[in-house]
Amino acid sequence: MDEQDLLIQRFLDDDLTPEERVAFLQAVDTDPLLRRRWLNLELVVAETAQLPRFAPSSRFVAQVLAKLAPASISPWDRLRAAMTVPRILEWNLAGAMAMVCVAVVAVVGLLRFVPDRIVEVPVPVAGSQAQTASLAPGQGAKVFVRFMLLQPGARSVSVAGDFNGWDPGQTKLEQSEGGVWTAMIALKPGRYQYMFVIDGKQWIPDPLAIDGAGDGFGAQNAVLDVAI
The whole-number pLDDT of residue 226 equals 84
Whether residue 211 contacts residue 203, with contact meaning beta carbons closer than 8 Å, is answered with no
The whole-number pLDDT of residue 81 equals 62
The bridge status of strand 157-161 relative to strand 142-150 is unpaired
Query: Is this structure's pTM higher than 0.75?
Result: no
In residues, how long is the chain? 228
Among 151, 136, 221, 134, CA closest to 186: 134
Whether residue 41 contacts residue 98, with contact meaning beta carbons closer than 8 Å, is answered with no
The whole-number pLDDT of residue 24 equals 74
11, 46: one domain: yes
Residue type, 192: Y
The whole-number pLDDT of residue 114 equals 39
25, 95: one domain: yes
- CATH code, domain carrying 150: 2.60.40.10
106, 140: one domain: no
Residue 88 structural domain: 3-111
The whole-number pLDDT of residue 185 equals 85
Integer distance in angstroms from the first to the last C-alpha of the chain? 40
The whole-number pLDDT of residue 96 equals 46
d(CA 119, CA 132): 10
The whole-number pLDDT of residue 106 equals 41
Domain count, the chain: 2
Residue type, 215: D
89, 151: one domain: no
131, 183: one domain: yes
129, 71: one domain: no
Q: Which residues of the chain have pLDDT under 50?
A: 87-91, 93-94, 96-138
